[in-house]
Amino acid sequence: MNVLVLNCGSSSAKFAVIDPASTREEVSGIAQRLGSRDATLDWKRNGTKGSRPIPGAGHEQALRAVGDLLAELGLVKELIGVGHRVVHGGARFSGSMAITPEVIAKVEECIPLGPLHNPPNLVGIRVAQELFPALLQVGVFDTAFHQTMPPVAYTYPVPHDWLDTLGVRRYGFHGTSHRFVARQALALAGLPLGNHTLVTAHLGNGCSCAAVRNGKSVDTTMGLTPLEGVMMGTRSGSVDPAIIGHVASALNQSAAKILDVLNKQSGLLGVSGLSNDMRTIEEAASRGHERARLAFDLFCYVLAKSIAGLVVPLGRLDALVFTGGIGENSVAVRGRTVEHLGFLGLTIDPDANATHGRGQNGRITKDVRPQALVVPTNEELMIAMDTADIAQQA
């Protein structure tokens, strides 16, 4: 019983075939540089890598090439469904859904909220429906997990009719990852299903934190778009919105151009002037590169302030969960962030942190309550599990 998981971005399509029961990944890969002569399909199966050129392929041809590959590997017959990552579900989806014409129409309605992400997600759905007409297709939304936020968490202090007429509110993202690691953390930390308070910190190229009480998101750092919140690789996170007007008029550029800079040339990259990659930042900072040091310091400082803020809706903290490329791998970021949060009762265990908590169920702090722990995320597995659940109900 396998599920094909698809994540279609603007110029790439990631895929994986996963057995949700055993969590075994049969194959995973990416079709990248789509639309260019250098487009390739790269994959990994049983530890062996494969690659083939798909020159000029767009999403459609790339997904056909994925279909051909799966047929060659003998993986098509065992598929029970296709799970699609959909970035922006607005306020229309509070859980994963079987794809129907109504669901597609609602995803289309959310395009103004997710103009970069929803269109390629929709292409992935359409092509997968053509390629696998007999299979159940399921949409898994980045925003859905945060639909349990109360009005006080999702409302912006702006004219209220912007909410009703334009959908201006906080939605939150990375929901699939926050939900997955929150579940894993309960088991690892031995916390009760009906009585727990977590802050989950998903720190990859994009970064966001969520406050989770008893399995539900009650607040998160990202907002209307994935630009709000903590500092990221190339995204600024929260800044004074008046910066946009100030810089736009000073440089005689459009607001859209400044927003583009806040999305693509800010964060670690903007502050360091060097890189959006935390490994490069850490390495340069240790060699004495001053702006890399500032970028690292700022990243951890902003992150710790956001985590502390998320304890407000929770009332107490049982566990702080680190995940994503930075959260799972950066000993330095975790160490510094936990150091800032000492007042919450968190004290880093340097040996456990150095080995990513592997010897003690992910825990990297001295005490058990509250504790900080490292939990590897697996959004593809979560999508496969949701798809299998919906397939079983159908």
Chain residues that interact with ligand ADP, rule: CB under 6 A = 204-206, 233, 277-279, 282, 324-326, 329-330
Q: Tokens at residue 219, please?
A: 């607040």
Q: Are the C-beta atoms of residues 242 and 249 closer than 8 Å to each other? A: no
Residue, CB closest to ligand ADP: 325
User: 282 or 318, CB closer to ligand ADP?
Assistant: 282
Nearer to ligand ADP, 81 or 114 (CB): 114
| CA atoms 143, 147, 150, 154: torsion sign | positive
Q: How far is the CB of 323 from ligand ADP (least distance, A)?
A: 8
Least CB distance from residue 226 to ligand ADP, whole Å?
11
Tell me, what amino acid is at 61?
Q
How far is 88 from 72, CA to CA, in rounded Å? 33
Distance in Å, CB of 356 to ligand ADP, minimum = 10
Task: Report the C-alpha gap between 333 and 322 in whole angstroms.
Answer: 10
Paired tokens of 7: 């994540």
Residues 219 and 199: their CA atoms lie apart, in Å, by 10
| Whole-Å CA distances, 32 to 35, 40, 94, 299, 311 | 9, 6, 30, 29, 40
- Asked about 351 being catalytic, the answer comes back as no
| Token pair for 225 | 């778009």
CB of 186 to ligand ADP, least distance (A): 22
Decide: helix, strand or coil at residue 364.
coil
Tell me the C-alpha distance between 282 and 278, whole Å: 6
Q: Which is nearer to ligand ADP, 154 or 173 (CB)?
A: 173
Look-up of token digits 């949700």: 20
Q: Which is nearer to ligand ADP, 175 or 233 (CB)?
A: 233
- The DSSP secondary-structure symbol of 348 reads B
**To the nearest whole angstrom, how small is the minimum distance from the Cβ of residue 216 to ligand ADP?**
24
Q: What whole-number distance in Å separates Cα of residue 45 and Cα of residue 54?
A: 19
How many whole angstroms separate alpha carbon 176 and alpha carbon 361? 21
- In order, the DSSP letters of 130-188 are HH-TTSEEEEEETTGGGGG--HHHH--SS-THHHHHH--S---S-HHHHHHHHHHHHHH
Give the active site residue among 38, 142, 277, 386.
142
Burial of 134 (0-12, 13-18, 19+ CB in 10 A): exposed
- Find, among 77, 85, 35, 76, the residue nearest to 56 by Cα: 35
Going 306 to 312 to 314 to 316, the CA torsion angle's sign is: positive
CB 47 within 8 Å of CB 24: no
Between 29 and 233, name the residue whose CB sits nearer to ligand ADP.
Answer: 233
Active site residues: 142
